[in-house]
Amino acid sequence: MNFLLFLSSLLFTSPIDSLQTPFEKSGGTQSATYEECISYYEKLAALSPEIKIIQQGNSSVGKPYHLIIISRAGISKPTEVNRKEKAVLFINNGIHPGEPDGIDASMMLARDLLFKKEMNALLSHVVVLIIPVYNIAGCMNRGCCSRANQNGPLEYGFRANAQNLDLNRDFMKNDAPETFSFENIFTQWHPDWFADTHVSDGADYTYTMTYIATQHNKLS
């Protein structure tokens, strides 16, 4: 009898039970490395036909860009989206890898969209695009202490890419290969809603909104 109960538990255990992220496994003290992040999405793709991993473009560190596509129909190209029936949601993570919350949150979101019934129902109306890590070079350049007053995780990425550029200041001047890759994805898919994940993580700012002027020599 006990053996039959054991077999039944194996049959009815959700894949979600074995798909905890590094963030969850550590109790919220660690963020996924670049390698752990991509490996996690590959594991999801091996378990579900509703997620595709597309390589599109290159980064300043020579690693390929990955675009995650989550859809009910197994969509892999923008021309396959019926815009009258489905909206396109686009999430970009890790433009500043020292702010890694979106990287970890998107891993959990992807899992839940695939394997939680109430979340999976959303795929009847939306196609979800995720760039797992935008600044790959910065994500791989990990440390503990480059962000003053930040409350965790134990290690996180660096703000700049391999060219020492802040990619969040490069969308007009296009000095980085990451920017070209991103713009190709964005213009091809024309998302209805776009989120670029940032966090302050313990930093105490005087003002609710702050402004940073663009380098004057980059405007001409």
**pLDDT, one tens digit for every residue, the chain (220 residues):** 666 555 454 455 567 778 999 999 999 999 999 999 999 999 999 999 999 999 988 899 999 999 999 999 889 999 999 888 899 999 999 999 999 999 999 999 999 999 999 999 999 999 999 999 999 999 999 999 888 778 889 999 999 999 999 999 999 889 999 999 999 999 999 999 999 998 876 666 677 766 666 666 665 5
Please indicate, yes or no, if residue 218 is contained in any of the structural domains.
Answer: no
Q: Most distant CA pair in the chain: distance in Å?
A: 77
The count of structural domains within the chain is 1
Asked whether the CA dihedral 20, 25, 27, 30 is positive or negative, the reply is: negative
Residue 207 lies in a domain: no
* CA dist 140 → 37, 55, 85, 98 (Å): 11, 18, 39, 11
Q: What is the CATH number of the domain that holds 166?
A: 3.40.630.10
Q: Please give the residue range of the domain that contains residue 74.
A: 19-199
Asked whether residue 47 is domain-assigned, the answer is yes
**52 CB burial (10 A radius; 0-12, 13-18, 19+):** middle
**Does 14 fall in a domain?**
no
The model's pTM is: 0.86
CA distance 172 to 185: 16
In a domain, 210, yes or no: no
| Domain assignment present for 62 | yes
Residue 81 lies in a domain: yes
∠ CA 124-88-71, rounded to 5°: 45
